[in-house]
Amino acid sequence: MRAFQLVAPRKFEELDIPKSVMQKGHILTKTAFVSICGSDWYTVNHGRDYDVFPLPVGRPIHEVSEIVVESDDPDFKPGDRVLDVAYDGGLKEFHLRTAGQLVKLPAAGALEDLLMAQPLGVVLHAARKWPSLLGASAAVIGQGSIGQFFTAILKMQGAGPIITIDKEDNRLVISQKMGATHTINSTKQDPLEAVRDILGGEGPDMVVEACGLEDTYNMAIDMARKGGMMTFFGLPKYEKTALKLTDLIRRDSVVYTSNQGERDADFALARNLIAQGKVYPHPLISHKLPVGDVLHAFQLAESRADNAVKLVLEF
């Protein structure tokens, strides 16, 4: 079967490996679409200080939609469309899974849109930790797909104003469709000053960091109001990141962190929100490319060239 392995930064090898063999109690699936997570492109293009190459076959891709080929589970039938939440290397043509690693997707609707239940699910996992944000002011730093979904969930929770911050105008335009009431291009305005101007001199009640950069972590610390909340979601590019801990403590802050998600509580809910039209992910999908263009797709993800936001690869 067709598969890809990252053997060094910016170097994928295409492989022909044995096809997964059906086993009792399992489900054999064929990959339809994968998409690039913001946590992946730094590993692919540069390598993090804790990455060991070659990576296991198929990694780091983990946003995967598939079609059931064979099944020994009564809840899954051949032809069913599923979201793979196993985090087990998506860049492979076939996968052997158990029912607990799959979320059944509706028969109707674009499969690439339903694939967005994976990133939406991890955002929901983070949002479950929050108190009520009804009427709370919020800022989201970074408007890639994760930041956009945080914007949408903040709107659903009744937060407002919701201020989005990014370096790309096209992403800020999309964020208005997702629920932003105000947008700030951080290359044109000082985001700290601009946020306080919008909020009458105060910082937001909640600041979400969705970039994974040292500068943006510290921007969140500087931005939140005294006694306010922050969600650190972006995966750091390096194992060690310098934070303004004195400022964090003196601001009497509440900090939330989050990683991955749960099949039933998060990914199934994300599927339902998309299927019911409560969250509309299609504007985020800027590019759909053949899987053979995987390295080019990762380069686009980092460079943001051609207004890239969310890149989907088709097997």
- pLDDT (0 to 100) of residue 208: 98
Backbone angles phi, psi at 271, to 5 degrees: -60, -45
User: pTM, whole model, 2 decimals?
Assistant: 0.95
- pLDDT (0 to 100) of residue 236: 86
- pLDDT (0 to 100) of residue 179: 97
Q: Provide CB contacts within 8 A for 90, sequence distance 6+.
A: 31, 34, 58, 59, 61, 62, 63, 64, 84
Instruction: Report, as ranges of residue numbers, the positions in the chain whose pLDDT lies below 70.
Output: none
- pLDDT (0 to 100) of residue 49: 84
- pLDDT (0 to 100) of residue 58: 97
Read off the pLDDT of residues 39-70 as tens digits, 9 standing for 90 and up.
899 999 999 888 999 999 999 999 999 999 99
Read off the pLDDT of residues 264-301 as tens digits, 9 standing for 90 and up.
999 999 999 999 999 999 999 999 999 999 999 999 99
- pLDDT (0 to 100) of residue 52: 94
Is residue 221 within 8 Å of residue 214, measured between CB atoms?
A: no
Q: How far apart are CA 314 and CA 288, in angstroms?
A: 7
Domains observed in the chain: 2-119+262-314 (3.90.180.10), 130-257 (3.40.50.720)
**What residue type is 21 in one-letter code?**
V
